[in-house]
Amino acid sequence: MNSSDMLTTSLPTPAANPAARAEVLERRRAKRGTAEQEFTSDFSALMAQVKEAGLLARRPGWNVLRFSLLAVAYIVGFAVLFLLGDSWWQIATAVYFGALFTQTAYVAHDAAHRQIFTNGKVGEWVSTIIGNLFIGLSYGWWLKKHNALHHANPNKAGVDGDIAPGALVFVAEDAQKRTGFAKWFAARQGWAFFPLLTLAGLQLHVQSVQAILKGQSSIKRRWTEGILIAVRIIGFPALAIWAAGPVVGSVFFLVQLAVFGIHMGGSFAPNHKGQPIVPKDVKIDFLRRQTLMSRNISGGRPMGFLMGGLNYQIEHHLFPSMPSVNLHKVQPMVREYCREKGIKYTETTLFESFGIIVRYLNRVGLGQADPFDCPVTAQFRSR
């Protein structure tokens, strides 16, 4: 995240026309000493504290350990897969691989946020290989969807793809447009949330392949990604069938896919679903935009392992390039800073967050959700 994105209350770029430039400068002078100017400087003050604490520095030792543990985990997993052969104990192996692929996805996620490598090209290649070959997820597609759209505008209607209408709707206006069975389903969609998570892994595979086939502009290495993802999506099921036989191998693959979807979806969904939805025409300063629309999950370091550090979602959104292993250290600083500034800091347990999501989805499906409105958005509403 560069500095120009951090201050979203920016004025238009001064034009070459002297009169237009003078008008822009005059508006800037008019904002001096106002609450709006104070908002734009809030994050800068917090960033200064974080930099002084050295929490943005990369952790090479931690990353070497992380990659080493993953390598050992894959060796163990494939060894067990072939040793068990045609046995229904392979269901346990399938659960293991579903969790292992999710942990691998966390590494790819961190690398894509430049938490691991100082060299951007190296980070891109590692993310491309891990994402496509190990997870079956297009790095180029994910980079645009997650980094460019979601992180820049979390929970912003019409911009954040994570709340775009699909099987589920996250904005009341989208639910009101549905008719027939779709309308009936939307009114009860909260109860379908967990069953649908079993398909989240399949959805990620399908969307990745579609993006590669269409040649989405954000995919720089289309053929490389295409070959790697084909090896993963075709090769892994084939390997499972070879090792465990056609029946057990097929069930193994389906269970692995469902576990992967539940684990991935269960790690990402609690962080934003059920938090305020921002109308498309509203602009909020960076600190409040990332904090108010995010939710932390309590549970400390164990929950951090389970969710790949995404339980510290507020801190991750404020400092996306901060190593995930450091997020627990910056949390007290961010929480205290939000308290001083009067900014709501949301943290719940994992199960509480799931309850919030179910209730929110059902309410939205009935077309009853209220638009996000607060003094902050009122001050920064586009005109």
Residues whose CB is less than 8 angstroms from the CB of residue 309 and which lie 6 or more positions away in sequence, other chains included:
106, 110, 316, 324, 325, 327
Examine the pLDDT at 72 and tell me if it is beyond 70.
yes
Q: Are 248 and 88 in contact (CB under 8 A)?
A: yes
Q: Residue 347: helix, strand or coil by DSSP?
A: strand
Most distant CA pair in the chain, distance: 78
- 260 vs 139, 335, 382, CA distance in Å? 17, 32, 40
Is residue 17 very low, low, confident or very high in pLDDT (cuts 50, 70, 90)? low
CA angle 145, 199, 302 (to 5 degrees): 75
What integer is the mean pLDDT of 87-111?
Answer: 96
Instruction: Tell me which of 30 and 204 has the higher pLDDT.
Output: 204
Half-sphere exposure in the Cβ direction for 353 (13 Å, CA): 23
Half-sphere exposure in the Cβ direction for 67 (13 Å, CA): 13
What integer is the mean pLDDT of 71-75?
Answer: 98
Give the per-residue pLDDT at 223: 93
Task: Give the tens place of pLDDT for each residue, 131-153.
Answer: 999 999 999 999 888 888 899 88
CA–CA separation, 300 vs 303, rounded Å?
6
What integer is the mean pLDDT of 257-279?
Answer: 92
C-alpha 316 chain-centroid distance: 10
pTM: 0.83
Least confident of 88-97, 197-206, 282-291: 282-291
CA–CA separation, 252 vs 249, rounded Å?
5
CA–CA separation, 80 vs 91, rounded Å?
11
Give the per-residue pLDDT at 20: 52
Examine the pLDDT at 198 and tell me if it is beyond 90.
yes
Question: Residue 20 phi/psi, 5° resolution?
Answer: -65, -40
Give the per-residue pLDDT at 152: 87
Least confident of 91-95, 204-208, 219-223: 219-223
Half-sphere exposure in the Cβ direction for 209 (13 Å, CA): 14
Burial of 154 from C-beta contacts in 10 A (0-12 / 13-18 / 19+): buried
C-alpha 216 chain-centroid distance: 20
C-alpha 153 chain-centroid distance: 12
213: tokens are 């086939």
CA–CA separation, 77 vs 96, rounded Å?
7
Examine the pLDDT at 29 and tell me if it is beyond 60.
no
CA nearest 6: which of 227, 285, 355? 285
Task: Give the tens place of pLDDT for each residue, 235-258.
Answer: 999 999 999 999 999 999 999 999
Percent of the chain at pLDDT exceeding 90 = 65
